[in-house]
Structure 1
Amino acid sequence: MALTGKYELIREEGQLEFLTAVGVPEERAKKMLADKTLEITLSGNSVSLTRPGGQKQTLTFGEEKVETGPDGRTIKNIAKLDGDKLLLDSQFGETGSLKREYVLSGNELTVISTSEKPGVAPGKRIYKKI
């Protein structure tokens, strides 16, 4: 699948504002945004997302995976493929949910983060394939 590959961040649009609006403390959000590379591996019915330092998340399409976030909250994740788009839905207990859409156009990967929380503008991270 075309999404498989290594990517390097080229710009962000409103991602820090998005993270703080959904309740991530600003210092934690800045640390999260320090990651400038991403590797996506699609294999069979699963996807792996690898970030700097070896942080790896592997999800099976359509199956819920329960994980513990860096702040100790329980996160329920579900990954889906919709044509050439990778969709990740994350539910944070009673505090709401986030959706991430990974869209590849040519050599550019756009990750759009949205929240069900009213008034929260989407955040974007745009990467180039390396």
Structure 2
Amino acid sequence: MTGLNGKYEIIKDENVMEYYKAVGIPDAFIDKVGTSPPSLEITISGNSVNIKDIKDTTVELGKEFEDKTPMGGVAKCVATLEGNKLTITRIHDGKKGGHSYEQNDEGIVVTLTFEGSPVICKRYYKRV
């Protein structure tokens, strides 16, 4: 069992709107989805990873999977786990990005990056 397993609630965001704009998500979509999901749940068991936030996603560590982007495209992704850091590497339209979920003393920090964007987004969650 990993220390990432658990339920979390959002504490604060950094650069969410700026990140969405920098990666080309239209304002109308940003307004519709808001800044962040209010809760997050992660369950890791063996090689299976389940993440519940805006959607419910289950993947297998180290195996490529497809994930729909907010604008309806498809990203090729791979999830890896190193210690208490889960990283999902994404390739969409030839650009690399990713989401990392890293445990800290208060809960989890989720970091979003995308190649070509100078903006890094962070979401801070506390364990509940």
TM-score scaled by length of structure 2: 0.89
Match of 1:26 in 2: 27
Superposition CA RMSD, Å:
1.6
How many Å separate the matches in 2 of 1:98 and 1:28? 20
Report the Cα offset of residue 69 of structure 1.
Answer: 3.0
Aligned residue pairs, count: 126
Query: Which residue of structure 2 aligns with residue 114 of structure 1?
Result: 113
How far has the Cα of 1:34 moved from its partner?
4.5
In the alignment, which residue of structure 2 is the partner of 1:65?
Answer: 65
**Cα distance between partner residues in 1 of 2:41 and 2:62:** 21
Q: Which amino acid aligns with 1:66?
A: E
Unaligned runs of 5+ in 1: none
Letter in 2 for 1:91: I
Query: Which of residues 43, 53, 68 is equivalent to 1:41?
Result: 43
| CA 73–15 in structure 1, closer or farther in 2 if over 3 Å, else same | same
Compute the displacement of 1:64 (Å).
Answer: 0.5
TM-score with structure 1 length normalisation?
0.88
Unaligned runs of 5+ in 2: none
**Equivalent in the alignment of 1:87:** 87
**Deviation readout 1:13-63 (Å, 9 max, x if unpaired):** 1111011101111232341524211100101102111125xx211111111
- SS of the residue corresponding to residue 6 of structure 1 reads strand
Q: 1:34 to 1:103 in 2, by over 3 A?
A: closer
Structure 1 or 2: larger helix share?
1
Q: Distance in 1 between matches of 2:9 and 2:83?
A: 23
Aligned to 1:101: 100
**Structure 2 vs 1, CA of residues 57 and 122 (structure 1 numbering), >3 Å: closer, same or farther?**
same
- For the residues of structure 1 that align with 2:44 and 2:35, how far apart are their CA atoms? 23
Deviation at 1:70, TM superposition (A): 4.0
Partner Cα distance (2:52, 2:63) in 1: 19
Give me the identity figure in percent: 32
